[in-house]
Structure 1
Amino acid sequence: MLELRPNCECCDKDLPPDSREAMICSFECTFCASCAGTVLGGRCPNCGGGFAPRPIRPPAALARHPASAVRVLKPEGCRPAAEG
């Protein structure tokens, strides 16, 4: 089950569970659509993979399985993944 992380790892923008701006990679690194598309050029800086929109958990399921409250932020700032 997805953690539904609460913020963009790059700019720290809040991304609540129902946000349509949340983008994730296959490892569930979480970024806002703006950072994912512009700053990172569509590639995760952690794994080099692409992004997909994060699914929205239905409210009844969210009540039983709440979103994570753990914020992840890169203190050194975001940088695009190195070419492989």
Structure 2
Amino acid sequence: MLELRPNCECCDRDLSPDSSDARICTFECTFCADCVETRLGGVCPNCGGNFAPRPIRPAHLLIARPPSTTRVRSAKPACA
């Protein structure tokens, strides 16, 4: 099950569980669409993979399976 991380690892922008701007790679690295397009060129700075829109978990399932509250930041130069 996806963690649904709460922020962009690059700019630290909040990304709610229902955000259509959230992008993830195969390792669930989470970035906003703006950083993916303008700073990262569509390539994950952590693993080198590509991005896909993060699926939106239906609201009624968020109670039993809440999103993560742990904020993650990338230490890679593209996000410094």
* TM-score of the two chains, using structure 2 as the length reference: 0.93
- Cα distance in 2 for partners of 1:78, 1:56 equals 29
Q: Unpaired runs of 5+ in structure 1?
A: none
Q: Unpaired runs of 5+ in structure 2?
A: none
* TM-score of the two chains, using structure 1 as the length reference: 0.89
Deviations 1:40-84 (A, max 9, x none): 00000000000000000001111110000000013x46528xxxx
* Residue aligning to 2:31: 31
> How many equivalent residue pairs?
79
Moved over 3 A (4+): none
- Cα distance in 1 for partners of 2:77, 2:43 equals 11
Shift of 1:30: 0.1
Deviations 1:20-47 (A, max 9, x none): 0000000000000000111000000000
